[in-house]
Amino acid sequence: QKSSSWSALFAEPMNELVKRYTASVFFDRRLWRADIEGSLAHARMLAAQGILAAADLQAIEAGMAQIAGEIESGQFEWKLDLEDVHLNIEARLTQLAGDAGKRLHTGRSRNDQVATDVRLWLRGEIDLIAGLLAQLQGALLDLAERNTDVILPGFTHLQVAQPVSFGHHILAYVEMFSRDAERFTEVRARVNRLPLGAAALAGTSYPLDRESVARALGMEGVCQNSIDAVSDRDFAIEFTAAASLAMVHISRFSEELVLWMSQNFGFIRIPDGFTTGSSIMPQKKNPDVPELARGKTGRVVGHLMGLITLMKGQPLAYNKDNQEDKEPLFDTVDTLKDTLRIFADMVAGISTVPEAMERAALRGYATATDLADYLVKKGVPFRDAHETVAHAVKTAMAQQVDLSQLQLADLQRFNPAIGQDVYEVLSLRGSLNARDILGGTAPAQVRAQVARHRARLA
Ligand code: ARG
């Protein structure tokens, strides 16, 4: 009878608190499917290389099938004493398959095993996230398409700047989320490499065929340095960085949704199912979903800081510090997936209040630049035109009217070249239509961008 589950070397059992402190089974059990997949690929390669007998492989395969069933049905008994997902599954396999189970770990260490498991698991999650990002982009495209001709006051410094198409504004977010999708694709390629065969840190003396294991697992290649293979977690850090950026984009959008649905703006409505009431103020409908998403962005960015700090002082190769990579990584994945899913649904239900947006655009002299451009076309140098229009705005402010409501005679006092055609330029819609340049806000351009994005996502 061994006094410790580790080996004969240990004279006394593990301290109870230390056992709990060092165990990861309560959170890393979610890697079980990847753990079994990796073990089966390893065992099949061992058999093909003549390191494991065919009968042992069969026993391992049958045992793993049973274990998968037990875990899926909730019957598997996870044991704290067995520290982590890897040792729990291996111990159960040995119960079921006897010596064959004990042979599975030949040429392998938990160090290359855990790195492989996390990569396999994360690869699957990245694929789910890619699908959710596509859904969100699809919902935003629908919203943009429905509102291509709706005029929103575009802001800089949160001051009314120039009128833009609401659809154009929404397409800015489609651009951001499409770059997020690209980033995840690039990260995926670096996640999808195989550490197995690195063993503890130095490689192994068994004639393993690492390339065949990589192929069997659908990986794009093997990690080329055994020391790096077991100690690198930058794949997890860059995933979390990409997730942080995606959340930052969600957060900026959230901030705008919160503003837009406040009484002072009143630009949009979001479906009741995505708002909450107040326990004291009966009139309230609060935008809790965007607010929480903005808050959860801080949490994901915090995980990025946690992971990057986790790595900075570690000497090569594997250190137990790395066990701390899992909770932040798992929580990042959970938070991002939930957020993307909810936003795709919520965006589908957003409706706009075009009159409110137009009224706001009219209040802010949003066509002042258009008047300056009009004067430039009449031969006035731009800097002079800029100054002239400032005077016109001052006059309009004093009269409490929009530029388009000034009399022609008044306008002509600023510059005699101004004619009746100026009123086309001073209208919000005229301003919008004038920006008919690639990437600009003219509705024709917006429609072309919607079509481009649709083709890209198809
Ligand atoms: N639970 C560990 C982790 O998450 C597995 C690897 C442990 N390896 C070791 N040599 N203690 O990193």
Q: To the nearest whole number, what is the mean pLDDT of the chain?
A: 96
Instruction: Out of 7-11, 89-93, 198-202, 289-293, pick the least confident.
Output: 7-11
- What pLDDT does residue 282 have? 79
Q: Residue 205 pLDDT more than 90?
A: yes
Query: 7 CA distance to ligand 1 centroid (A)?
Result: 17
Closest-CA residue, ligand 1 atom 4, reads 323
Which of ligand 1's atoms lies nearest the C-alpha of 200? 10
pLDDT confidence band for 427 (50 / 70 / 90): very high
Ligand 1 closest atom vs CA 318: 10
DSSP E strand boundaries for 47-193: 151-156, 159-165
| Structural domains of the chain, ranges and CATH numbers in brackets | 16-106 (1.10.275.10), 111-147+162-358 (1.20.200.10), 361-457 (1.10.40.30)
Angstrom distance (rounded) from CA 244 to CA 176: 13
Nearest-CA residue for ligand 1 atom 2 is 323
Cα–Cα distance for residue pair 102/331, rounded to 1 Å: 33
* CA–centroid distance, residue 189 to ligand 1 (Å): 24
Shortest-distance Cα residue to atom 3 of ligand 1? 323
What share of the chain has pLDDT > 90, as a percent?
A: 91
Region 160-168: mean pLDDT is 96
| pLDDT, mean of residues 55-84 | 98
Residue with CA at minimum distance from ligand 1 atom 12:
323
Ligand 1 centroid to Cα of residue 206, in Å, is 22
Weakest mean pLDDT among 183-192, 213-222, 399-408? 399-408
Query: With 90 as the cut, is the pLDDT of residue 285 above it?
Result: no
Q: Distance (Å, rounded) from C-alpha 424 to C-alpha 388?
A: 19
Task: Quote ipTM for the complex.
Answer: 0.96
Distance 303 CA to ligand 1 centre (A): 20
What does the pLDDT read at residue 283?
82
Can you spell out the DSSP letters for 238-279? Answer: HHHHHHHHHHHHHHHHHHHHHHHTSTTT--EE--GGG-B--S
Residues with CB under 6 A from ligand 1: 24, 28, 84, 110-111, 114, 318, 320, 322-323
Which candidate, 64, 79, 74, places its Cα nearest to that of 24? 79
Ligand 1 centre and the CA of 377: distance in Å?
Answer: 71
Query: How much of the chain exceeds pLDDT 70, in percent?
Result: 99
Asked whether 13 and 4 are in contact (CB, 8 A), the reply is yes
Mean pLDDT of 323-328: 98
Ligand 1 mutation target, pool 21, 24, 84, 85, most atoms within 8 A of CB? 84
- Please give the average per-residue pLDDT across 382-404, as a whole number: 93
Q: What separation in Å is there between the alpha carbon of 88 and the centre of ligand 1?
A: 13
pLDDT greater at residue 342 or residue 365: 342
Give one DSSP letter per residue of 12-80, joined into a string.
Answer: SPPPHHHHHHH--HHHHGGGHHHHHHHHHHHHHHHHHTTSS-HHHHHHHHHHHHHHHHHHHTT-----G
Ligand 1: which atom is nearest the Cα of residue 24?
1
48, 212 contact by CB (below 8 A):
yes
Query: Which amino acid is present at 261?
Result: M
pLDDT at 215: 98
| pLDDT-derived band at 278, boundaries 50, 70, 90 | confident
Asked if 44 contacts 88 with a C-beta cutoff of 8 angstroms, the reply is no
Indicate if the pLDDT at residue 290 is higher than 50.
yes
Residue 352, H or E segment: strand 351-352
The residue whose CB lies within 8 Å of the most ligand 1 atoms, and thus the one to mutate among 80, 114, 121, is: 114
Ligand 1: residue of 320, 322, 329 to mutate (most ligand atoms within 8 A of CB) is: 320
Confidence of residue 6 (pLDDT cuts 50, 70, 90): confident
Mind telling me the catalytic residues?
157, 278
